[in-house]
Chain A
Amino acid sequence: MNHIALKMLMGDRGKYLGIVMGLTFASLIMTQQPAIFLGLMSRSYSFISDVGLPDIWVMDAKVQFVDDIKPLQDTELYRVRGISGVDWAMPMYKGLLKARLVDGTFQTCNVVGLDDATLIGGPPVMMEGKLEDLRRSDGIIVDVDGARDKLGKPSPTPGGKRISLKVGDSVELNDHRAIVVGIAKVTRTFQSQSVVYTTYSRAKSYAPKERKLLSFVLVKAKPGQDLAELTRRIRATTGLAAYTRGEFISLTYEYFMHNTGIPINFGISVLLGFIVGAAIAGQTFYNCTLENLRQFGVLKAMGASNWVLLRMILLQAVLVGTIGYGLGVGLTALFGYSMRHSILAFKFPWQLLLFSGAGVSLICVFAALISILKVIRLEPAIVFKG
């Protein structure tokens, strides 16, 4: 009977393609839109996930998300260092500074100051130069996107592409000279500012004079130390906020979830994709079943049980669902692949495959269900009506 079900489904090529396209569309929207959403959201915390070495981030108790810098006194670093269970603790400066480019324009960039000795918290991938080069005088490392675009030199021809910043070029950071000693690849951040890495003490001299300049204390726990226990201890002894990397990521993520319209916008897109997909695919599938109702009646008259017919419809639904799903996620992946070098945010975790799979399944189940109801209620006697 499976064979018959498939033949029945594919018999009407137009309808079959219609159903598959509807489901493809639904699956595409339900995968691609969340992928962009997740990409955007992951950019909100990409700075945290890029810094892989420390386990715990210590900061002011009132910090709401990663770009909400409330600096600490330098001595807090040593207080944190003195807490048992802490393997090491390193300072990190993070702030927005104005860079003056050769052509006189200003560009705000994200300056990150790393501990002078260890350079912990550096960029994950160096494309040119080495992280150690930061020890050279006035050295900074610029992220590749910023070097190519925002911090690049103006094009010799008007309107042309900017000339990429190279190792050895100089920039002015808050009236201080800075020499590019390396180009790094970092994950794009939410505001897409270019990132400039330098040492902690140099960052402090670049930064406007303030009483407090220590943005974060990066802590590594001793091997075997329970992180939750250690964060609690740091909080209790210093009065600062201490989060594990995961907690800090979710703090930032939650902030963006609750304080921006992004989740709602994308939620609506996804819902729309679901509804339109469900409408197209469900409708076409149902129509197809209606059209084949007489055939189902014949089968029923010839002694095919409801269960057999149900299995046939389910098989049809599963087939179109699987095909539509595969095409949809494939197109999404293709989309992401073709956009991989652009500014577009795109993140495709395996959970998203499940999510869109569940969405497509839901549509198929819905479509199959109304068809099945129709077929089960069908009186085989209709076959005798001309």
Chain B
Amino acid sequence: MQVKYTLPILAVTGFLFASYTVVSSNKPIPVAPAIAPPASAPFKSFIAGAGIVEPKGRNIAIGTPLSGIVKTVAVKVGDKVNAGMPLFYLDDRDTHAELTVKLADLAKAKASANEALASLKDTQSLSDLAEAVTDRRAISSEELLRRRNALLINAAKLDSAKALVQQAEAALANTQTTLARLIVQAPIDCEVLQVNIRPGEFAQAGALNTPLLVLGNMDQLHVRVDIDENDAWRFDKNSKAVAFLRGNQHFKTDLILAYVEPYVIPKKSLTGDSTEQVDTRVLQALYSFDRKQLPVYVGQQMDVFIEAKDYPGNNGSPL
């Protein structure tokens, strides 16, 4: 009668094992937690957008008026500079040489002018002598005429020599200006954000893809927020806005609207590959915020929520 008990015992064991398998194999899959808690809007109804931090007045991409080899770079990234402070120097050796030439030219012109002045004085005194003779017979009228003319000629020569001096001075001033232009200066009080030029490199004049230097006013930062054109009608200038720093939702700040760029532009992706083309247009709104509240860097992305009126009823058209 062994079968009598073995089979039921086996069956019970089998069932228990199956139940165990059921319980153990159907444990819920563990949920991977978010590494950083995602930011969520503090408003009931809102517009969400990606914002990028930029200095007030946007970034200044410094260019050079003249092309040339960079001699020295006077600033480094992070330097605070005042208006007029030199940023970098271009190679000025040929300009300096030219300056010497111009100075010599000036000296020569001045010497010529002095010579003309001396001649004028000489002819002046001869003329004065002749004019002082009251007896017209004592001096031939021819001599008198010759002396008068010589005076006039020398006067004209002096004018001409003076003009040459002026010309030489102007030429000198021109070279000095060129020299000054080889020193690129900060246009405003600001901070150096990027330096893309090093001594010895050739700085190309004109608009460049990579600016030589990027300056910006870091005292006051702005967040440039892209609002999808589909949501643009919901945007209200007076509504509240909050920005969260990506990666830590505890860093957040209230935003104050600075201005809205009235022209809706094609979206340049702020979030991904720059070559990406997206056929949507965005309204850009600029907000200012208190920089002390956030350890934020220029160019960093933020999640921005702007309070807005809700979409019309649920049966509203999606378009």
Direct chain A–B contact by Cβ atoms under 8 Å:
yes
Complex Cα distance A52/B18, Å? 27
In contact, A236 and B267 (Cβ under 8 angstroms)? no
Q: Which of A125, A204, A324 contacts B30 (CB 8 A)?
A: A125
Q: List 9 A-B contacts (CB under 8 A).
A: A53-B33, A75-B280, A89-B48, A117-B246, A118-B34, A119-B35, A201-B273, A213-B272, A330-B18
In contact, B35 and A131 (Cβ under 8 angstroms)? yes
In contact, A211 and B45 (Cβ under 8 angstroms)? no
* Residues of chain B at the chain A interface (Cβ within 8 Å): 1, 3-4, 7-8, 10-22, 25-26, 28-41, 44-50, 226, 228, 230-231, 234, 246-247, 267, 269, 271-273, 275-280, 282, 305, 308, 310-311, 314-316, 318-319
Q: Which of A79-124 contact B (CB under 8 A)?
A: 79, 81-84, 86-90, 115-124
State whether A330 and B273 are in contact (beta carbons under 8 Å apart), knowing that A81-B48, A232-B314 are contacts in the complex: no
Of A31, A52, A90, A200, most B-chain CB atoms within 10 Å: A52
State whether A120 and B34 are in contact (beta carbons under 8 Å apart), knowing that A73-B278, A75-B228 are contacts in the complex: yes
Known: A73-B279, A236-B318. 16 other contacts (CB 8 A): A13-B3, A78-B50, A117-B36, A118-B34, A118-B37, A124-B31, A131-B32, A201-B271, A211-B276, A326-B12, A327-B11, A331-B14, A333-B17, A336-B21, A350-B26, A353-B19
B280 to chain A, nearest CB (A): 5
Q: Which residue of B is nearest A328, CB measured?
A: B14
* Residues of chain A at the chain B interface (Cβ within 8 Å): 10, 13, 16-17, 20, 31, 49-53, 73-75, 78-79, 81-84, 86-90, 115-125, 131-132, 187, 200-201, 204-205, 209, 211, 213, 220, 222, 232-233, 235-239, 319, 322-334, 336-337, 346-350, 352-353
In contact, A118 and B318 (Cβ under 8 angstroms)? no
B13 to chain A, nearest CB (A): 6
In contact, B318 and A326 (Cβ under 8 angstroms)? no
Complex Cα distance A330/B17, Å? 6
In contact, B25 and A348 (Cβ under 8 angstroms)? yes
Q: Which residue of B is nearest A203, CB measured?
A: B272
In contact, B3 and A330 (Cβ under 8 angstroms)? no
State whether A79 and B228 are in contact (beta carbons under 8 Å apart), knowing that A53-B31, A236-B314, A239-B318 are contacts in the complex: yes
In contact, B18 and A333 (Cβ under 8 angstroms)? yes
